[in-house]
């Protein structure tokens, strides 16, 4: 993989020089945050924040959407608290 110990986001197989990324991480060196959803993450409806305790998380979903992948319709107004 790239860098030291798969960027700290995975396990390195030194014999094969390959990384096995932890959930929420992607790329040859586990350096790319991967949030829930498709269309590059967050279903194209939010911001993927890689700096959260549980790993990459979707935040600031566009109006009308909520949930971990910005994939749940918000039919009763605004999500309270935001990013819950």
84 pLDDT more than 60: no
Name the band, by pLDDT with cuts 50, 70 and 90, for residue 2. Answer: very low
Query: In terms of pLDDT, which residue wins out, 70 or 1?
Result: 70
Q: Phi first, then psi: what are they for 65, rounded to 5°? A: -130, 150
pLDDT of 1: 45
What's this model's pTM, rounded to 2 decimal places?
Answer: 0.58
Which one, of 52, 79, 51, lies nearest residue 65 by Cα?
Answer: 79
| Contacts of 24 by beta carbon, 8 Å cutoff, 6+ apart | 9, 33, 34, 35, 54, 55, 56
pLDDT (tens digit, 9 = 90+) per residue, 22-81?
Answer: 887 888 998 888 887 765 678 889 988 888 777 788 889 998 898 888 888 988 766 665
What is the DSSP secondary structure assignment for residue 14, as one 8-state letter?
Answer: T
């Amino acid at each position: 993989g790239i860098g030291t110990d798969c960027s700290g986001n995975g396990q390195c197989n030194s014999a094969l020089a390959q990384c096995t990324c932890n959930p929420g991480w992607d790329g040859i060196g586990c350096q790319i945050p991967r949030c829930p959803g498709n269309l590059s993450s967050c279903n194209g409806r939010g911001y993927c924040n890689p700096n959260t305790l549980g790993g990459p998380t979707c935040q600031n979903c566009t109006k009308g959407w909520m949930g971990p992948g910005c994939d749940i319709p918000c039919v009763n107004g605004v999500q309270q608290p935001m990013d819950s």
